[in-house]
């Protein structure tokens, strides 16, 4: 019984160390201010994640890619520029057709 408790305690300690290591790695990979992940950008734009990837692939939204983690990040400025362009182009088309 004592041996089983010792083995369990060792496993708990090992798991605890691994969790601590993961938490430290997560803290190091925080996204800098003014940048969003693809998932965050999708929520901000009210679009699906796959549509945001489409916008990146077609060049409608610029992206930054961190080499260390191969993580795609988007700047808030670029997202706001995309929204401005989208809204401005829509307004121009309405004006051209004479609709309000």
Q: How far is CA 21 from the centre of its chain?
A: 22
pLDDT in tens, 68-77: 667 788 999 9
Question: Residue ranges of the alpha helices (H) in 1-100?
Answer: 2-28, 38-45, 49-57, 76-97
Domain spanning 31-100 has what CATH number? 1.10.1660.10
Tell me, what's the pLDDT at 69?
Answer: 64
- Look at residue 31 and tell me whether its pLDDT is greater than 70: no
- Per-residue burial over 63-83, b if 16 or more Cβ lie within 10 Å, else e, is beeeeeeeebbbbeebbeebe
Q: How far is CA 30 from the centre of its chain?
A: 11
Structural contact between residues 40 and 2, judged by C-beta atoms closer than 8 angstroms: no
pLDDT in tens, 33-62: 788 889 999 999 999 999 999 999 999 998
């Amino acid at each position: 019984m004592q041996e089983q408790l010792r083995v369990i305690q060792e496993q708990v300690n090992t798991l605890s160390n691994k969790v601590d290591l993961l938490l430290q790695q997560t803290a190091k990979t925080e996204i800098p201010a003014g940048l969003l992940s693809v998932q965050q950008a999708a929520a901000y734009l009210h679009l699906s994640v796959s549509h945001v990837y489409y916008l990146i692939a077609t060049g409608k939204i610029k992206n930054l890619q961190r080499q260390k983690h191969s993580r795609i990040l988007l700047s808030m400025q670029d997202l706001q520029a995309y929204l401005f362009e989208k809204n401005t182009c829509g307004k121009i088309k309405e004006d051209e057709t004479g609709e309000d």
